[in-house]
Chain A
Amino acid sequence: MTDHVTPDNPYRKINSTSAYRRLMTAYYFMVKHPKWFGKKVAWITSGGPVEPLYAMGVLPFYPENYGAMCGASRMSVSLCEAAEQKGYSRDLCSYALTDIGSSFTGKGPLGPLPKPDFLVCGNNICGTVIKWYEIQARAFNVPVFFLDTPFIHDQIHEHTAHYVEKQMESYIAFLERQLHRPFSENRFQRVWSRSLEAIALWKEILDLSRRHPAPFAAFDAFIHMAPIVTLRGTLWAVRYYRRLKKELEERVKKGVGAFAREEIRLIWDNIPIWYDIRNLSKMLSSHGAVLVADTYTSAWALDEIDSTQPLNGLARAYATIHLNRGLEYKIQKIANLIENYGAHGFIMHSNRSCKPYSLGQYDLKREVSKATGKPGLIIEADHTDSRSYAPARVEKQIQIFMEIVKNKA
C-alpha cells in the first residue's frame, strides 16, 4: 500500500512497510544472483509446496508474484504484447503472458529473470499453470515436477488424498535427483514449523481486521502477503509477520483503523486489479468504505493443516486451498467472511485472466446475497492487463453500489 492521502479520509501508513521493502529487496536480490549464494533456483506456482524447496536449500521464484509486480508497476501490457507478437493469444492469462513476454525480452521491473534450474508446478490454483510451465520447461530446457491436486467439487475422497500424498513423496525424490543430495527430515521439520508459524501469524493478522475499525485493509494485505507466498518456511517471514502483527495489535489497542473513517466494511473476491489498487482504494475510502477481508490473501492461511504429519499434512493442506474447492464451499466461505468481519457488502472482480476464480461468481453473488442479505457488486477487469479495464465504468458502478450499501446498512 502506498502512502496516499484522500482529503477526507486519510490512509494510515503501516510502519512495517519499510521492513517489508527491505525484506523483499533482499529476497529478490538473492533470487537474481543465486550463484553468489551457491543456490539453485526453482520457479514455482503460487499454490505450490515451497517448504521442501527451502528444506533443500533451493531459492523459489514465483512468476505469478512477478506478474503482480509487473502489473502494479504497469509494465504488464508491453510484456503481454511481446508474448502476443510470438503468437500467444491475448485471451490467455496475463500473468502467463507477462512472464513469457519477460522471458523473451529480458524486460520487467527486475530486468532479465533468473533462469530456473527446474520448475515446480501445482495445479491447485488453475489448469493454466500446466501449460505455462510446459512452455517454460521447453524454453529453458529444464525438468518440471507437477503436483496434481484434483479439484474438490464437494468433498475430498480418501483415494484423492492418498494420490496427493504419494506425489509428495515423488516430489521429494525429484528434488533429491535434481540436487544430488538426500532430503533431510530434520531440516524439513524446521522449515515446516517455521511455515506453520508464519501461516498462523498471517491468519492472526488477517483476523485482526474483524475488529472495528479494521487495522489492516485488504489492500494492505495484497501487498504484505508477498512474504507468506514467497518466504513461507523461512525465519525471515516469521520475524516479519511478528513485527507486523505487533504493530497492528497496537492499532487495535488504540482503536486505530487502516483509514481514519470506516463507515462501510466490504469483502473482496478474486485477485486484485494490480495496476489500479491505489485508485480503487482511494475511490472506496472517499465513500468511507474499507475492504476488511478478501478471499485471495486468506488462501495462504491454509485451512486444513495437520501439523502432526508433515508430508501428509502438507499434501492435504495444498489439495484443499480455496481455489481448488467448488462453488458451494466458496458460497459458504464468503458468507462466513461477511459474518465474521461484520461486512456490509462484497465486491467481486470478474477476472478474465482467472477462470477458476471467476466462473461461478454470478451464482456466488446471488447465493451469498440471499444467505446474508448483503449486496454484492461484480466489476470486470484483468489482474494485470489494463487493456481489459474501463476505470470510468468501474467508478460509476462503485458509486451506485455505495449508495445501495448505505441504504441497506
Chain B
Amino acid sequence: MDRQTSLLRVRREIERISSLGYKELASQLPKDRRPIGFFCPYVPEELIHAAGGLPLRLMGIPTKISRATLHLPPYCCHLTKSSFESLLQGELDFLQGVIFSHTCDSMQGLSDIWAHQKRLPMHFNLMIPTNLDSEHSRPYLKAEMERFKEFLESHLGEITPQKLKDSIHLFNRIRERLGEIYTRRRGGLNELPGGFFAQTIRAGYLMDRVRYLELLEEMLNALPDGTDDGEDLVPVYVSGNMAHFALYFSIIEEAGAIVARDDLCTGARTLRLMVQEGLDPIEGLTQRYFTSFFCPTKHKGHRAHMETLLEDVEKSGARGVIFLLYKYCEAHYFDYPDLKAALESKGIPSLLLDVEDPSYSLEQLKLRIQAFVEMLRPI
C-alpha cells in the first residue's frame, strides 16, 4: 500500500471514531473488554486496561443541557454539565463504571451527584493528593493506587504483574508515537492538518488501544519527512483544558497559524506521563505524577505552572499563546493573570478564549483568532 492510501485509511478510521456519539461508539468497542469511563489523566488507564477494562475518556460533547440543570448549578464547566447530561440521557449506559480522580471542586461535586444516580454498576474515587510538593504525598498516592487496584480486581479481573507491565508498555508506546507525531507534524501539514490532528488525539481515548497504536504507527510510516510545509504559518502554543476539538485547530490553521505545541489536558501534557518500566509497576504509576508539574488543580510549588509554561513555550518557538480555558475552571482562571504577565515579560502575547459548548459563537471565535494571528505575523 502506498503512503497516501495508507494515510487515507488511517484518516477514515480516526475521523469515524472521533465523530461518533457515545451510543454509536458503544457498538464499535471490542467485546472482550469492559468499558470504563474516566475524565482525567490522573486516572491510570494502565491499571484499568490491565484489569481487562477499556478506559474511555469522557471529554464532553456538544449537547443541549436540559436534564442536568435539575442537578447542577449553572456555574459549572461544560465538561461537567455535558457529561452528566449524557449520563442522564442514557448515552453512557453501556459503561460498566466511571472513575473519578480528585482534581477540582466541580469534579468532586459531580462525582457524588453521579454516584447518587446509581446508574452505572461501578463508581470509584481515586484521591490524588492536592499537594504534590510534600514528602508525604507519594506514599499516600501509592496507597491510593493499591486501593484502586484492589477495586478493579474485585470488579473486573486480576491484575497480574505481567499484565500491568504489558499495559504500561502499551501506553508508553502510544505516548512515544504521539510525541513523534507532535514533532513531525510540521513536515506533514497537508497530510495531518490541525482538525485531523485534534481528532487523532481524541480518538486515542475512545478506542481499543492496541488498534490505536497500530494506527499511529501506520500514520508515522506514511507521513513525509523533511520538508516543512508549515514554514509560512505563525507558530502558536495552545494551553488549557481538554480542548481537542477539531474546530479550534482548524480555525487556528485557517487563520494562518499552526499549533507548534500544546499544553492541553488531552494533548502534549499527557506525554509527561511516561512510566519508568524498570520499576515496580505501582511505584512507576505513582512516581510519574511527581516528576513534573501537570495540572493547576495541584500544588507543586507556587511558581511551577509559570515556569513549566514559559520553558515549554520557549522550546516550541511559538510567537504567541492561546489559552483555551473552560468557562468556570477556577484552577486555570486563577493562574491566568500571572501566566499572561509572565509571558508578556518575555515578549510573548497571549489570547484568552472561553470554552463552553464548542459550537457556540463560532464567528466571533474565528475573528478573535484571526486578529491575534495577524498581530503575531511579522510585518
Contacts and interface: CB of A to CB of B under 8 A. Distances in A.
What class of interface size applies to chain B in its complex with A? 35 or more
Contact of B137 (A93, A134, A148, A327): A148
Contact of A128 (B105, B337, B341): B105
A127 B113 contact: no
A37 to B, nearest CB: 28
Contacts of B139: 163
A132 B336 CA distance: 12
Contacts, number: 148
Nearest to B125: A153
What class of interface size applies to chain A in its complex with B? 35 or more
A159 B327 CA distance: 35
Interface string A149-170: 0110100010110110011001
B311 interface: no
Contact of B106 (A166, A327, A359): A359
B153 interface: no
B105 A126 contact: yes
A352 B70 contact: no
Interface stretch (B128-136, B194-202, B263-271): B128-136
Given A89-B336, A151-B102, A167 B108 contact: no
Contacts of B125: 151, 153
B336 A91 contact: no
Interface string B304-348: 000000000000000000000001101101111110110000000
Contacts of A88: 333-334, 336-337
A127 B131 CA distance: 11
A350 B109 CA distance: 13
Given A137-B302, A138-B303, A360 B109 contact: yes
A362 B70 contact: yes
A79 to B, nearest CB: 15
B140 A360 contact: no
B330 A153 contact: no
A135 to B, nearest CB: 6
5 contacts: A91-B75, A127-B330, A151-B108, A163-B136, A327-B115
Q: 3 closest Cβ contacts across the A-B interface?
A: A359-B109, A131-B334, A87-B337
Interface of B: 70-73, 75-76, 102-106, 108-113, 115-116, 125, 127, 129-131, 133-137, 139-140, 143-144, 147, 296-299, 302-303, 327-328, 330-331, 333-338, 340-341
Interface of A: 86-89, 91-93, 96, 123, 126-128, 130-135, 137-138, 144, 146, 148, 150-151, 153, 157, 159-160, 162-163, 166-167, 170, 326-328, 350, 352, 355-356, 358-363, 367, 380
